[in-house]
Chains A and B, each alone.
Chain A
Amino acid sequence: MSLLDVTAQRVKRVALLAATSGLALALATGAAEAQTKPVYMQKYSDARNFDPHQVITRSVSEILAFITDTLVTIDDDLATIKDGLAKEWKVSPDGLTYTFALKDDLKFCDGKAITAATIEANFKRWMDPKTKSSSFSIMGPLTSVTATDAKTVTFKLSQPYVDFLASIASPYAGIVDTEEAAKLGDQFAVTALNGSGPYCFTSWKPREEIFLKPNMNYSWGSGPYENKGPVKSGGLVIKIMPEENSRVAALLTGQSDVTYYLPWTSMADIRKNPNFAVVQPRAFGYLAYLGTKVNRPLMEPAVRKAINLAIDRGALVDELYAGEADEATSVISPNFDGAYAPPTKEGPRYDVAMAKKVLDDAGWKAGSDGVRVKNGVRLAPTMIGHIPWRVRLEAIQGMLRDVGMDVKLEITDTPIAVSRIMTKDDFDIYGWYAGYTTTGEALHKYFLPSEPYSAYRAVPDEAKELAALITAGGRELDRDKRNALYKKAQELISQNDYWVPLVHERMVIVYNKTKIGGVKPHGLLAGGLYKGLDLTPR
């Protein structure tokens, strides 16, 4: 072999070594860069603050799941309870005492230890009337919380409550630094929040964006996640985008990595795009419904029944949801344990002929203009809703016109609509959502007369039997007996037609699979990513 050949060989070896080293360095740098890159997501509305003990809206709960942890977590079937801050727990045979043993090395974002005393302080703050909590009622008959030692917390209930663990998994039961809350006053959860979750509340530009950086002290991940913590990204940047077109554009141009707030009409194109993946959790409780003001003269039983029969839910699903929802013939989605749907010929369904017959039999006769009249009164109810519901309600208005109802539609911005639904009685029908985690929670929250959103709030005397069934079901520890009680309750609800279920919405999460991985869909209180522990930028 000549010197030239030897030199050529050596040059080749060095070049190969350099190339290999370069490739390894690039890969390592790329991996390191991916770990410092944040994940970009969107939400469509902002919040008043992020204090879990004060606010009770979807726009808050999805953020709380990232920045706080709860004693237990819940799987995406919204039924299986898993460990959270607690590694294990015991329930007394009478169902009145829950004892939780905390994991080791639990820390807030600032490194402060989370102990049993921290848990006790949180729940006491939540219970305190001075906190003016809107959400504490989800804890049902909870009466006391006591730290029995540094790592053990005991909860006492006045009566058994089967959804207690599911309620404790709610983001509203998220653990925060109550000392910081006391110090900051009304600026707590606005300018700062020292939380216990896998992400830390770092900055919030109202109406613009929220930045959550990784909690480097987090190492006790649980639930459906492989990663125990810390998270493998540079954090979460959550852009607030009320405009639908902006959300779609941001996703398509790569400025957003993941969202569950796309307009349904864009889903067909998104599904065809090879860069995007679409995933859904196993369970999601989100009912779109019409509520009726049952104490208003026009909302007599026959009219409510007719409304339930006059709405073509299939058309709503096909045209307005692009097929991405399910027709609702019951108030609770059939995916939930304990859910009951009435037989097809009895419950809510599309039967225009029957709707007309019901109205005819009740004395509502069609006038010359097709609008029904009874005792000189026109069947012209007022229906209110907020702007995102405009097209839906206009479609329903048309359907009700077909059976002789001249519905007056009043569409306003969301805060006005919410305010009116909660505090006024100057309308007959309203369109809104009901989010829930379990069948029991839905029945308690929406059908016990004492609850603010209850369909029976204005007519508590009519709901005595229903309230007894719901309360008894909530106390019944035996699953079959409980579901039997819930079934009777749902039968009563279905017979009264106080609510007109429209569709069961789906939690549809779209993410750019060329940019991120580890998306685990979830449906707890409409927070599609739940803890986001496995989210990894590519």
Chain B
Amino acid sequence: MLIRQLGYRLLISIPVLLCVIALGFVLMMMIPSDPAAIIAGDHATPAALEEIRESLGLNKPMWVQFLLYIERLLQGDMGKSFLNSSDVFSELSRSMEPTAELVIVALLIAIPLGIGMGAAAAWSRGGFIDRLVMALAALGMSAPVFMTGLLLISVVGVHLGWLPVQGRGGPVYTWDGLSHIILPAITVSFIVIGPIARITRTSMLAIINEDFVRTARAKGIGERRVMIAHVLRNALIPTVNVIGLQAGYLLGGVVVTENIFAWPGIGRLAIISITTRDVPMAQGTILFLAISFVMLNIVVDLIGGYLDPRAQRL
């Protein structure tokens, strides 16, 4: 059943990815620039430019260039960077690890914190903690990522001097690695903490008066155990779905955060590729981000299906 569901999800992802590739291709081609001039450099002669256009097929119609690109893609060839002729796939692979690290650490911060805040709000429903948590959630959701990041850099990095603010350190299990990832991960986590807290609170409040919860209390089970083992557990199902829905925002936030903190991941690579008109690299990053988003949603759907077997249907 699970494999069938996975297969179906992967199958319907293909047209989605094709649309994203096509859209990314068209947008990059429409940007006013001459890739041949970028490759040739400052002192290119018209003859040199023509030679480059011919060798890269840049003088062919756009639809022909797109089909050639798909053909190469299917052969595993994502092309070479206009910047330094490096292999696009190799550079993407190198940039994947920092982004994955950032996303995982951000989720490790956001999920327990968001669920905890939501649970605390539900428990104190109507009280001071409830109001405080909801205000913080609203603040987290409405503050732009770049503002949060720059604020953390200014306060924690520059004024307090507690943590480094640029680049990536060593492996994340070392202090050097951990100290470098904390601020960008907190910045990214702000994107999803608010929605997680709110949905957790709402779901718990919806369940808290259900019959099975009253039964549990009537059996003499302590309030804390009731809230955690019965109410929260059942409230997690919609929470998991929300995490999946927020995945897109998370990836978007990663792009901005990586630029603010000079974090060498896919997001930063995407921005630099686009601003330097490194078309193959930009197309590669767009494709990679699209695949990541699709896979993240598939994983979330599968986890949701596991938690609630009623959701396991085609």
Contact = CB atoms under 8 A, between A and B. Distances in A.
A253 B158 contact: yes
Contact of B165 (A46, A134, A250, A416): A250
Contacts of A415: 33, 37-38, 276-277
Nearest to B49: A423
Interface stretch (B100-108, B209-217, B264-272): B264-272
| Most chain B beta-carbon neighbours within 10 Å: one of A56, A57, A415, A423 | A415
Contacts of B126: none
A422 B153 contact: no
Given A48-B83, A206-B81, A415-B38, A243 B260 contact: yes
A49 interface: yes
Given A413-B275, A416-B277, A423 B86 contact: no
A389 to B, nearest CB: 15
B91 interface: yes
A384 to B, nearest CB: 11
B83 A206 contact: yes
Nearest to A45: B276
Interface string A224-250: 000000000000000101110110011
A47 B37 CA distance: 15
B296 interface: no
B44 interface: yes
Given A49-B84, A241-B166, A242-B272, A418 B262 contact: no
A146 interface: no
Interface in B148-199: 150, 153-154, 157-158, 161, 164-167
B32 A205 contact: no
Contacts of B157: 249, 252-253
Given A239-B166, A245-B150, A423 B34 contact: yes
Interface string A191-209: 0000000000000011111
Given A46-B83, A186-B85, A423-B37, A245 B260 contact: yes
Nearest to A243: B259
B37 A419 contact: yes
Contacts of A55: 41
Q: Name the prevailing secondary structure of the A interface residues.
A: loop
What is the interface residue range for chain B against chain A? Answer: 35 or more
Contacts of B83: 46, 48, 206-207
Contact of A241 (B46, B150, B158, B262): B262
Interface string B36-59: 011001111010110000000000
B42 A190 contact: no
A190 B33 contact: no
A136 to B, nearest CB: 10
A452 B37 contact: no
Contact of B158 (A132, A252, A414): A252
A190 B84 contact: yes
Nearest to B276: A415
Given A56-B43, A134-B41, A255 B94 contact: no
Contacts of A245: 150, 153, 260
Given A249-B158, A249-B166, A413-B275, A418 B37 contact: yes
Contacts of B84: 46-49, 190, 206
Given A249-B158, A253-B165, A416-B277, A190 B85 contact: yes
B272 A207 contact: yes
Interface string B72-88: 00000000010111100
A414 B33 CA distance: 10
A428 B229 CA distance: 72
A159 B261 CA distance: 53
B41 A250 contact: no
Contacts of B269: 207
Nearest to B180: A255
Contacts of B49: 423
Contact of A419 (B33, B85, B259, B268): B33
Q: Give the 4 A-B residue pairs with the shortest CB-CB distance, closest first.
A: A419-B37, A134-B43, A416-B33, A208-B264
20 contacts: A46-B83, A56-B43, A57-B42, A190-B84, A206-B86, A208-B167, A239-B167, A242-B272, A243-B260, A243-B262, A246-B261, A253-B164, A255-B166, A413-B33, A414-B275, A416-B33, A416-B277, A422-B37, A423-B44, A452-B42
Interface of A: 46-49, 54-57, 132, 134, 186, 190, 205-209, 239, 241-243, 245-246, 249-250, 252-256, 412-416, 418-419, 422-423, 452-453
Given A418-B37, A423-B37, 11 more contacts: A56-B43, A57-B41, A190-B86, A206-B84, A207-B268, A243-B260, A249-B157, A255-B165, A419-B38, A422-B42, A452-B43
